[in-house]
């Protein structure tokens, strides 16, 4: 906790999607499982799911190892200052 890391993205994507809270994270899991792109788009439009650029720096505030995710504060860009839930696999520690 307290460490600064940067966000990674899957494959060729230039952004990653992060949830603003636990409810949104659970809903996103269901939508991903159902391959529901319209539902994901609605979450993005409502600002419950944030599109954050690959390489954006975040500060780790809390780690939830049982759910393989952590709460972070976004330190750069459009969503500066907001908190979000990020999968641990979507983070790369800074040297």
Q: What is the pLDDT of residue 95?
A: 53
Q: What range does the domain containing 20 cover?
A: 4-93
Q: Count the domains in the chain.
A: 1
| Pick from 64, 72, 78: nearest CA to 4 | 72
In which residue are the tokens 């780690």 written?
63
The pLDDT of 63-89, averaged and rounded, is 93
Tell me the C-alpha distance between 30 and 71, whole Å.
20
Residues 6+ apart with CB under 8 A from 35: none
What would the mean pLDDT of 35-61 be, rounded to a whole number?
96
pLDDT at 87 over 60: yes
């Amino acid at each position: 906790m307290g460490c600064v890391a940067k966000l990674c993205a899957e494959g060729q994507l230039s952004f990653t999607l992060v949830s603003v809270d636990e409810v949104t994270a659970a809903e996103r899991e269901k939508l991903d499982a159902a391959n529901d792109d319209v539902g994901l788009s609605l979450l993005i439009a409502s600002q419950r799911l944030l599109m954050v650029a690959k390489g954006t720096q975040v500060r780790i505030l809390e780690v939830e190892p049982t759910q393989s995710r952590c709460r972070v504060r976004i330190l750069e860009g459009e969503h500066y200052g907001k908190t979000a839930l990020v999968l641990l696999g979507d983070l790369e520690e800074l040297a």
